[in-house]
Amino acid sequence: MRKLVPSIAFNAIVPFVVYLLVRSHVDSEATALAIAAGIPVLFTAAIFIWRKRIDPIGAVAVVAYAIVLALSILSGGSPLLLKLNDAVLTGPFGLICLASLVVGKPLHLVVHEFVARRKGTEVSPFVHKAAPVITGIVGTMLTVHALAMLFMAILLPTETFLALSRVVGIAIIAAGVGALFWYRRRVSLPATRS
| Each residue's pLDDT tens digit, 76-101 | 877 888 888 778 888 999 999 999 99
Reported as half-sphere exposure (CB side, CA atoms, 13 A), residue 112 has a value of 21
* Angle value at C-alpha 123, between 119 and 128, nearest 5 degrees: 155
Q: What is the mean pLDDT of the chain?
A: 83
Which SS3 state, helix, strand or coil, does residue 15 take?
helix
At residue 100, the pLDDT reads: 96
pTM of the model: 0.75
CB 104 within 8 A of CB 149: no
Residue 148: CB atoms within 10 Å: 18
Q: How confident is the model at residue 178 (pLDDT cuts 50, 70, 90)?
A: very high
At residue 189, the pLDDT reads: 47
At residue 105, the pLDDT reads: 93
Q: Region 173-185: what's the mean pLDDT? A: 90
